[in-house]
Chain A
Amino acid sequence: MRRIIIRRLAQIIPLIFAVIVMNFVLIHLAPGSLFDVMTSEQQITDPKMLDQLRHTYGVDQPVSVQLAKYIWSVMRLDLGYSYRQNAPVFDVIVQQLPATLILMLAAIGIALLVGVTAGVLASIKVNTIWDNLISLGAVFFFAAPSFWLGIMMTVMFAVKLGWFPVGGMRTIGVDETAVGAVLNVMHHLVLPATALGLFYAATFARVMRASMLEVARLDFVRTARAKGLSGGRVVMAHVMRNAMLPIVTLLGLQLGTMLGGSVVIEAVFSWPGIGSLLFDSVMSRNFPMVLGVLVLGSLLVAVCNATVDLLYLRLDPRIKAR
């Protein structure tokens, strides 16, 4: 187990390095620069002032030097300074990262719960009306754009029924206890997490159904039935556990896309997460911020994937033997 963890961590370093170099090159290939955006927004036209700002932003140096400097500072765990936000990159990200993490975790939770339950149900009741309804639902939520789903849910549950707030992460301007604050955030979390989670739930349901049906045909399941186990126990302990493996694989893969997918949901629900920060930073070519988000994001995904690997070991002891 420890070897796996160490190996995983060792892989993160070249990964981060590649992320930095690739994105640095990409953002410099895109036309327009942070300097252009900043000076045009601020209507700065005085040549002396422009030179001074070039120096402040460090864009008066060759691109290769800028890259080397950036890598050196990341190695010292310093993500740099964002002149656009007038604050250290790390501080800005840390202010917004927790919101995205909460949203992601909640969405994954919903996706797993809904997806696996629906998949199991569909496989037990295969080729019945239940199966068809679940398949139909899965196709719908897979095809529906999440921003549309988000807006429709807002109109239904926030505007018409008034059950949930229309957006944001907590009620603004109320003083409350710690418990109250947690409940408040959870209340705000329901709609965005559901809108984001249902898309992934749809995939999980499809994969789970297929995987369950496949495992259910295997010999050990017949053995389990033959030794007189109840239907429920066979499904839960024998079929489901083995059918979970593809779901876990998928989960590891989708963690990364979820980080990206949350950009849209965050926009619809004005969730104060990292998505809008990343989007704005790309649009303004604010490369220290873009790189900062991507470096932390890739770290996050790498850690999640390592966790998924450990989960494999837990679910399927055969992997350890190899």
Chain B
Amino acid sequence: MSGFTRRDFLMTTAGAVLASGFAGSSSAVASAPKRGGTLVGTWGGFEPQSLFVPAGGGSSPYFTSTKVFERLLRLTVDLKFEPVLALDIKPAEDFRSYTIKLRPNVTWHDGKPLTADDLVFNAMEYWKPISAGVTLDALEGAEAVDPLTVVLKFKVPVPEFFLKSVLAGKAGLVIPKHIYAGSNIITNPVNNTPIGTGPFKVKEWVRGSHVEFVRHDAYWNAGMPYVDKLVIRWWRDPASRSAAFEAGQLDIGTFNPIPAPDIARLIGTKKFIAETKGYSNSAWITSVEFNQRREIFKKREVRQALMHAIDRSFISDTIFFGRAHPSIGAIPSSNSIFFTKDVQDYPFDVKKAAKLLDAAGYPVKSGSRFKMSLVSAGWFEENVKIGQYLKQAFEDVDITVELAIPDRATSLKRIYSDYEYDVAVSNNSGSIELIPQTTQYYTTDGIVKGAAFRNATGYSNPKMDEIVGKMAVETDEKKRVSLVHEFDKLAAIDAPILPMVDLEPVTIARSDVRDHSLTADFMGESWAEVWLDR
């Protein structure tokens, strides 16, 4: 199963207007791209704190910074690596070093050339200590062999897919050495007017409103970008984004820009399309976490029982208006490389849940089996409803539930710093490569008090650590896939934390916007190839 396609999506949400939605399909049109015009884009969130946040900073700065900075590679929608700033990346026979050939004649926005020195600086001063962190723990050194060749050296064998994923991922932006060398990269004021090699140069950022990018005329990919100007605007209110689409003041919005009920209406006008491609390398899930520091939830049967008590189709159909589907195992089904169906599943079954709880030693006594504190992280609107639903679902198996839906900062503190919860609802987005973003929820070394979006449950299983340890150094792609399946099976049975639903974010675009959503993480690509058919 390659996830939920746009066809399915339209079937469930727009039904009758299905055919019209395809008229403007991005990849179906094979005419020659047109130059010119201004593309106005947005996303389903707010303005970034800074246009570029070197250590990450969430989706919003990622969205803006990737129009300016590029990476060595990119991952296409069918999960193939394509060269961007690197022409070629080759592992040595022992997979302990990689040779990177840079693309010649690439210039920064200020006219200076991109060289191997820039890359060495990025590897050792930016990626390893700041953006990738533990992910590149094994990186030992980087050396410029000639002006366009760099060799990366590692302490242990590093799988090719893993390294390429890091280089094509959120942590792999290539920043200019001549601007950042000798400064504190994280607090450098230039992060608000970044200078990169990308197709767009920052012209002006009006805080609270928009950022205007103009074409980088000396871009290495001659002819691109196709649009003259790219404007990223922010609306705080989803309904306002719908209005902006309808008034013709917005061309494309990624990551659920508008309220779900509006999607069918906009598509019905035939002027817009909804696209679900372009999210597989940043797949969002909503998960439920069981705190192993609490006696009750340390019992695997209790966790499994609670998984059976949740009607996940209800969550995806009613709470997400069909913009999600029940998860299977720990890996989103859109991850066609590593996903497997062959794991323990937890169909909705209240009777079975009750039986398991009885067997685990928690029979109903005076109306209740036990009391739990349920914390649903309030950063997404849907989590509020999921929290309320789970309270009911758990009460249906006679558990007394104390529900809290705190705001973002409080949720982070309760779940990831203080571990002050029994059961928590949280989210994360993971890349196709599972190390470390997905695995750190399950490994013992993923437990870092105060560090968010990792192992907050306290789950520790030597067997799990061993499998993930092997995954990290297995260089044979086939063997690696079977190790991942082993990991997924164990995760599903132990269920310390499991995704409840895989989210299906939607991109809404005017039908005259062409060649969007062609990469596995479209929001974080340069948009050089997007053009306007006007």
> In the complex, A95→B243 CA distance in Å?
26
Asked whether any CB of chain A lies closer than 8 Å to the CB of B453, the reply is: yes
Asked whether any CB of chain B lies closer than 8 Å to the CB of A118, the reply is: no
Asked whether any CB of chain A lies closer than 8 Å to the CB of B104, the reply is: no
Asked whether any CB of chain A lies closer than 8 Å to the CB of B354, the reply is: no
Q: Mark B218-231, 1 if CB is under 8 A from A, else 0.
A: 00000000000101
Q: Mark B242-268, 1 if CB is under 8 A from A, else 0.
A: 011011010000000000000000000
Q: Nearest 10 A-B pairs (CB), nearest first?
A: A32-B409, A272-B208, A40-B452, A42-B55, A272-B209, A45-B451, A267-B236, A32-B413, A31-B410, A84-B49
Asked whether any CB of chain A lies closer than 8 Å to the CB of B201, the reply is: no
* B210 and A268 within 8 A (CB): no
Asked whether any CB of chain B lies closer than 8 Å to the CB of A135, the reply is: no
Q: Mark A151-193, 1 if CB is under 8 A from B, else 0.
A: 1001100110010011111001100000000000000000000
| B82-90, B184-192, B287-295, B297-305: which lies at the interface | B184-192
Asked whether any CB of chain A lies closer than 8 Å to the CB of B469, the reply is: no
> In the complex, A30→B192 CA distance in Å?
29
* A272 and B408 within 8 A (CB): no
User: Which residues of A have CB within 8 Å of B453?
Assistant: 40, 43
Asked whether any CB of chain A lies closer than 8 Å to the CB of B359, the reply is: no
User: Which residues of B have CB within 8 Å of A277?
Assistant: 207-208
Asked whether any CB of chain A lies closer than 8 Å to the CB of B338, the reply is: no
User: Which residues of A have CB within 8 Å of B133?
Assistant: 43-46, 49
Q: Mark A57-75, 1 if CB is under 8 A from B, else 0.
A: 0000000000000000000
Tell me the minimal C-beta distance from B438 to chain A in angstroms.
13
Q: Tell me how many residues of A have a C-beta within 8 Å of chain B.
A: 55
> In the complex, A84→B233 CA distance in Å?
20
* B246 and A41 within 8 A (CB): no
* B129 and A268 within 8 A (CB): no
Q: Mark A14-52, 1 if CB is under 8 A from B, else 0.
A: 000000000000000011110011011111111001100
Tell me the minimal C-beta distance from A259 to chain B in angstroms.
15
User: Which residues of B have CB within 8 Å of A267?
Assistant: 236-237, 240
Asked whether any CB of chain B lies closer than 8 Å to the CB of A128, the reply is: no
Interface residues of B in 446-476 (CB under 8 A from A): 448, 450-454
> In the complex, A41→B453 CA distance in Å?
9
* B212 and A268 within 8 A (CB): no
* A169 and B209 within 8 A (CB): yes
Asked whether any CB of chain B lies closer than 8 Å to the CB of A257, the reply is: no
> In the complex, A161→B344 CA distance in Å?
56
* B249 and A165 within 8 A (CB): yes
> In the complex, A30→B186 CA distance in Å?
26
Task: Kindly identify which residue among B58, B134, B192 contacts A87, using a CB–CB cutoff of 8 Å.
Answer: B192
Most chain A C-beta atoms within 10 Å of own C-beta, residue among B38, B246, B452: B452
User: Which residues of A have CB within 8 Å of B454?
Assistant: 45
User: Which residues of A have CB within 8 Å of B417?
Assistant: 36
B binding-site residues for A, Cβ under 8 Å: 38, 40, 46-47, 49-50, 53, 55-58, 129-130, 133-134, 184, 186-189, 191-192, 206-210, 212, 229, 231, 233-237, 239-240, 243-244, 246-247, 249, 406-414, 416-417, 448, 450-454
Interface residues of A in 257-302 (CB under 8 A from B): 266-273, 276-277, 280, 283-285
User: Which residues of B have CB within 8 Å of A132?
Assistant: none
Most chain B C-beta atoms within 10 Å of own C-beta, residue among A50, A92, A99, A173: A173
Task: Kindly identify which residue among A56, A99, A283 contacts B407, using a CB–CB cutoff of 8 Å.
Answer: A283
* A166 and B244 within 8 A (CB): yes
User: Which residues of B have CB within 8 Å of A283?
Assistant: 407-409
> In the complex, A37→B140 CA distance in Å?
31
User: Which residues of A have CB within 8 Å of B231?
Assistant: 172-173
20 A-B pairs with C-beta separation under 8 A: A31-B409, A32-B413, A43-B55, A45-B448, A46-B129, A53-B186, A86-B189, A87-B192, A95-B208, A165-B247, A167-B249, A172-B212, A172-B231, A172-B233, A266-B236, A267-B240, A268-B236, A277-B208, A284-B49, A284-B409
> In the complex, A54→B450 CA distance in Å?
13
Give the total number of A-B pairs whose CB atoms are below 8 A apart.
Answer: 170
User: Which residues of B have CB within 8 Å of A165?
Assistant: 247, 249
Tell me the minimal C-beta distance from B451 to chain A in angstroms.
4
Given A86-B189, A154-B243: A39 in contact with B452 (beta carbons within 8 A): yes
CB nearest neighbor in A for B56: A42
* B416 and A40 within 8 A (CB): yes
User: Which residues of A have CB within 8 Å of B209?
Assistant: 168-169, 172, 270, 272
Given A44-B55, A92-B207: A32 in contact with B134 (beta carbons within 8 A): no
CB nearest neighbor in A for B413: A32
> In the complex, A217→B325 CA distance in Å?
70
> In the complex, A96→B446 CA distance in Å?
41
Tell me the minimal C-beta distance from B397 to chain A in angstroms.
30
Task: Kindly identify which residue among B46, B57, B414, B450 contacts A41, using a CB–CB cutoff of 8 Å.
Answer: B57
User: Which residues of B have CB within 8 Å of A270?
Assistant: 208-209, 233-237, 240
User: Which residues of A have CB within 8 Å of B246?
Assistant: 159
Asked whether any CB of chain B lies closer than 8 Å to the CB of A312, the reply is: no
Task: Kindly identify which residue among B57, B189, B233 contacts A168, using a CB–CB cutoff of 8 Å.
Answer: B233
Asked whether any CB of chain B lies closer than 8 Å to the CB of A83, the reply is: yes
> In the complex, A40→B379 CA distance in Å?
13
11 additional A-B residue pairs with CB within 8 Å, beyond A271-B208, A277-B207: A30-B409, A36-B417, A43-B451, A49-B133, A56-B187, A154-B243, A159-B247, A166-B247, A168-B210, A172-B210, A276-B47
CB nearest neighbor in B for A47: B448
* A37 and B247 within 8 A (CB): no
* A154 and B189 within 8 A (CB): no
CB nearest neighbor in A for B214: A173
Asked whether any CB of chain B lies closer than 8 Å to the CB of A147, the reply is: yes
Task: Kindly identify which residue among B129, B210, B237, B451 contacts A147, using a CB–CB cutoff of 8 Å.
Answer: B237
> In the complex, A94→B413 CA distance in Å?
32
* A158 and B237 within 8 A (CB): no
User: Which residues of A have CB within 8 Å of B55?
Assistant: 42-44
Tell me the minimal C-beta distance from B95 to chain A in angstroms.
25
> In the complex, A40→B409 CA distance in Å?
10
Asked whether any CB of chain B lies closer than 8 Å to the CB of A11, the reply is: no
* B49 and A85 within 8 A (CB): yes
Given A43-B55, A166-B249: A272 in contact with B409 (beta carbons within 8 A): no
CB nearest neighbor in B for A271: B208
CB nearest neighbor in A for B188: A86
CB nearest neighbor in B for A148: B239
* A166 and B240 within 8 A (CB): yes
* A155 and B410 within 8 A (CB): no
User: Which residues of A have CB within 8 Å of B189?
Assistant: 86-87
User: Which residues of A have CB within 8 Å of B188?
Assistant: 86
> In the complex, A53→B47 CA distance in Å?
23
* A39 and B450 within 8 A (CB): yes
Tell me the minimal C-beta distance from B42 to chain A in angstroms.
9
Tell me the minimal C-beta distance from A249 to chain B in angstroms.
32
> In the complex, A49→B450 CA distance in Å?
13
User: Which residues of B have CB within 8 Å of A31?
Assistant: 406, 409-410, 413-414
> In the complex, A277→B207 CA distance in Å?
9
> In the complex, A280→B246 CA distance in Å?
27
